[in-house]
């Protein structure tokens, strides 16, 4: 009899400790080929389809769909081998001896028995289940007809069904919580409890920025620039210019990060996510804007990868479109700062002669980890962000991160 090996819950990111096996694509006794999807893993950040690393037969499923398991836990036994990678016999060693299958986030495959199956992203499947949508009635907008999350609202309304009974008490009715909602609640509660936050608030005069943006957006050749693109650029340059800024706390002390990556809060059908823009300080304003737009689109379509969601010391959370003056945010776990952005307001301020001067001001709140920053360091960082926003021509000049002239 062929020696059996374990297939384990893969690690999809540096900070991942557990994942939910949300869907099996194979059953015991199935023969699988390299690259065939075995199961779908959901974390608090994304859903990922897990592929076989080689050919083999699934002998036994060790975990049920819906189970939440630590990284490295055996979820199945099979006869396959993985191109010479180290692997241990089932039951002969710990999780570190087992083979982790390869992972992809988007793949169009056939079912194990060769029959065609509905090709859809994990997010689209979950949304369809939530809203009673029949995926077979949809034509996907993705590659090779793959059904994506944005296709679900286009489906015909499902027939009315009796409402399911909900748990009730004298206090009220309990509302079902998705895995994503529960994970966000857990992670942000942990962040607020364990990270010693402190906050600094100030306003930036963005009149010159608004004028420059309007002028640049009059150019039909380049993509449109948003205020948020300039804010991301200003944060990246502030972190680049302060050698002590790009650090995070990793017990038992500080860790300096090599690349200046800036997170960007994005609202999606699954909730709020904060993917990172790699090397943001080295990108000119057009390249940064294009990268930010691509990543935001992937987030809304449920196509983020583990790499998109890891790293970085700081995130920008912009609530300006919701008519709020200030946002006091919570630091994302694993990072050391977050900038909350409000709405641009027109206010009168006295000029140098004491006369009222109409200005366009942007409310900013910088939240910092007191284990990484002291008050003076944080104040200098916030001041640098404001200085970049109030002198936007710097984004277009050589030696300051580049611009539309192609300088870097």
**The pLDDT of residue 220 is above 50:** yes
DSSP annotation of 131 reads: H
Looking only at the bridges linking them, the beta strands covering 37-42 and 172-173 are unpaired
Of 148-157, 197-206, 225-234, the range with the lowest mean pLDDT is 148-157
Residues 6+ apart with CB under 8 A from 195: 249, 331, 333, 369, 371
Domains of the chain and any CATH numbers: 5-117 (2.40.50.100), 190-396 (3.30.559.10)
Helices 375-390 and 207-217 sit at what angle, rounded to 10 degrees? 50
**The pLDDT of residue 131 is above 80:** no
Coil/strand/helix, residue 4:
coil
Q: What Å distances lie between residue 265 and 10, 44, 136, 294, 339, CA to CA?
A: 26, 15, 33, 13, 10
Q: What number of other Cβ atoms are within 10 A of residue 216's Cβ? A: 18
Q: Convert the pLDDT of each residue in 75-124 to its tens digit.
A: 999 988 643 322 333 444 444 444 445 444 333 333 333 334 577 766 67
Q: Convert the pLDDT of each residue in 321-373 to its tens digit.
A: 999 999 999 999 899 999 999 999 988 988 889 889 889 999 999 999 999 99
What's the pLDDT score for residue 68?
85
Global confidence as pTM: 0.65
Tell me what the mean pLDDT of segment 157-172 comes to: 56
CB 266 within 8 A of CB 273: yes
Looking only at the bridges linking them, the beta strands covering 18-24 and 67-70 are antiparallel
Residue among 80, 55, 63, 58 at smallest CA distance from 3:
80
* Long-range contacts of 138-147, Cβ-Cβ distance < 8 Å, separation of 24 or more: 142/106, 143/106, 143/108, 144/108, 144/119, 145/119, 146/106, 146/108, 146/119, 146/120, 146/121, 147/118, 147/119, 147/120, 147/121
């Amino acid at each position: 009899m062929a020696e059996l090996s374990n297939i384990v819950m893969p690690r999809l990111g540096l900070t991942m400790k557990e994942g939910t096996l949300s869907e099996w694509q194979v059953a015991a006794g199935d023969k699988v080929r390299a690259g065939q999807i075995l199961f779908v893993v959901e974390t608090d950040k994304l859903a990922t389809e897990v592929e076989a690393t080689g050919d083999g037969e699934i002998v036994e499923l060790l975990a049920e769909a819906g189970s939440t398991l630590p990284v490295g836990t055996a979820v199945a036994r099979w006869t396959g081998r993985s191109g010479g990678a180290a692997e241990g016999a089932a039951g002969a060693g710990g999780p570190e001896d087992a083979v982790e299958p390869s992972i992809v986030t988007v793949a169009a495959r056939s079912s194990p028995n060769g029959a065609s199956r509905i090709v859809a992203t994990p997010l689209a499947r979950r949304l369809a289940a939530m809203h009673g949508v029949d995926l077979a009635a949809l034509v996907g907008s993705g590659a090779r007809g793959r059904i994506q999350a944005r296709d679900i609202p286009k489906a015909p309304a499902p027939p009315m069904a009796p409402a399911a009974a909900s748990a009730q008490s004298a206090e009220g009715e309990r509302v079902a919580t998705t895995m994503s909602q529960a994970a966000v609640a857990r992670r942000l509660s942990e962040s607020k409890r364990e990270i010693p936050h402190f906050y600094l608030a100030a306003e930036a005069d963005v009149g010159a920025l608004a004028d420059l943006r309007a002028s640049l957006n009059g150019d039909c050749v380049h993509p449109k620039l948003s205020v948020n693109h300039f804010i991301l650029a200003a944060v990246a340059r502030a972190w680049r210019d302060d050698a002590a800024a790009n650090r995070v706390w990793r017990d038992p002390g500080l860790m300096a990060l090599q690349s200046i990556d800036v997170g960007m809060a994005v609202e999606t059908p699954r909730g709020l996510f904060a993917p990172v823009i790699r090397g943001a300080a080295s990108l000119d304003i057009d390249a940064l804007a294009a990268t930010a737009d691509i990543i935001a689109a992937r987030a809304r379509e449920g196509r983020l990868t583990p790499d998109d969601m890891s790293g970085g010391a700081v995130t920008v959370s912009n609530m300006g479109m919701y008519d709020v003056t200030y946002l006091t945010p919570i630091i994302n776990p694993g990072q050391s700062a977050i900038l909350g952005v409000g709405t641009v307001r027109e206010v009168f301020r006295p000029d140098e002669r004491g006369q009222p001067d109409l200005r366009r001001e942007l409310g900013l709140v910088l939240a910092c980890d007191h284990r990484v920053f002291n008050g003076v360091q944080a104040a200098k960082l916030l001041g640098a962000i404001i200085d970049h926003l109030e002198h936007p021509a710097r984004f277009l000049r050589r030696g300051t991160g580049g611009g539309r002239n192609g300088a870097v």
